[in-house]
Chain A
Amino acid sequence: MSDDIDDTPILVGEPLAPDEMTEQLTVSRQDLLDAIEWWDSVASDEFVGVLV
């Protein structure tokens, strides 16, 4: 066994190509609703509910 320990992380998979992300680049009504949920999950008390 070698004394050298290879700590290089082993990464899995390949990056998405730009055209594989195209579908995600449009913003739908559902995205707006998801954004409300995202906002409310992190907002301070006085900012909760303001996007509705």
Chain B
Amino acid sequence: MSLDQPNAGVQLVYNEQEQVWVLASTGEELAATAIHAEIRAHATLSATMLNDVTVNMYTHGLPIDVWQNAMFTELKEGHTANMAFAAGGVENVTPEGIARLEATLAKEAEFLTEFAEGVSNGSVSELQARARAKQYAQAMEQSYWNEWGDGLANTAQFSHLPLLTQSPGDGQTQCRGNCQCILEFTDSGINWLLFPAEHCDDCLALAAGGPYRST
């Protein structure tokens, strides 16, 4: 949805020039903290669904392959929606954005296959499986940040900065899907911000190591 064509009742519109979501009533940019909170709320609901389907497998005989498909369907929808939100809506999604998303989904599918094998061979308990399912839901936030950061800080102005090669929740930090950090773009580059929570050593180092450039 563009700034020029807000639908009745919609309170947020996407400013395509600035590539930010703004409040329709005031024109103020939507804060990254508000976006993070919304995506986290979605993840919480997804986590409930993923927990329920996992319990179903352990207690009601839902076949492992059906569970795996149900898990992936939910993850795919969540990752896709988060990517589309960062793009400013599905009409702004680019082939490059789709390619990034597909790469993320391929990685998640690989993790999920390993997870399913652990469930099948008994090396993952029900409680562990339920906790891990929750992390998959939280990790969906990475698809927002992956899309958000594309092209933001890739000009000569930022060429002296280290390249940011990861996103909050993408599993590359010790906190993995539990990551509560957010990213911020300023004239100095992209900063890794520690959102109120306990932080792992990797996130502390990332926060201290900025600002960054992006691809």
Please give the residue numbers on chain A whose beta carbons come within 8 Å of chain B beta carbons, in ascending order.
8-18, 20-21, 24-27, 31-36, 38-39, 42-52
Pair B38/A44 contact, Cβ less than 8 Å: yes
Pair A24/B126 contact, Cβ less than 8 Å: no
- Asked if B84 is an interface residue, CB under 8 A from chain A, the answer is yes
Measured in the bound complex, the distance between the Cα atoms of B58 and A10 in whole Å is: 7
Please give the residue numbers on chain B whose beta carbons come within 8 Å of chain A beta carbons, in ascending order.
1, 7, 9-14, 21, 38, 41-42, 45-46, 57-59, 61-66, 68-69, 72-73, 76-78, 80-81, 84-85, 89-90, 93, 98, 101-102, 105-106, 109-110, 112-113, 116-117, 119-120, 122, 126
27 contacts between A and B (CB under 8 A): A9-B58, A11-B58, A11-B120, A13-B64, A14-B65, A15-B64, A15-B65, A15-B117, A15-B119, A16-B65, A16-B113, A21-B109, A21-B112, A26-B102, A31-B77, A32-B80, A35-B84, A36-B90, A42-B41, A42-B45, A48-B10, A49-B7, A49-B10, A50-B10, A50-B13, A51-B90, A52-B90
Pair B90/A47 contact, Cβ less than 8 Å: no
| Residues on A with beta carbons closer than 8 Å to the beta carbon of B102 | 25-27
B75 to chain A, nearest CB (A): 10
**CB within 8 A of A32: which of B84, B110, B120?**
B84
Measured in the bound complex, the distance between the Cα atoms of B47 and A42 in whole Å is: 12
Pair B10/A42 contact, Cβ less than 8 Å: no
**CB within 8 A of B12: which of A15, A27, A39, A50?**
A50
Q: Which residue of A lies closest to B108 (CB)?
A: A25
| Residues on A with beta carbons closer than 8 Å to the beta carbon of B78 | 38
Pair A38/B12 contact, Cβ less than 8 Å: no
If A50-B12, A51-B85 touch, whether A24 touches B41 (CB-CB below 8 Å) is: no
A30 to chain B, nearest CB (A): 11
Q: Which residue of B lies closest to A31 (CB)?
A: B80
**CB within 8 A of A14: which of B12, B64, B98, B106?**
B64
Pair A12/B62 contact, Cβ less than 8 Å: yes
Pair B64/A36 contact, Cβ less than 8 Å: no
Measured in the bound complex, the distance between the Cα atoms of B101 and A52 in whole Å is: 18
Pair B81/A35 contact, Cβ less than 8 Å: yes
A51 to chain B, nearest CB (A): 5
Q: Which residue of B lies closest to A15 (CB)?
A: B116
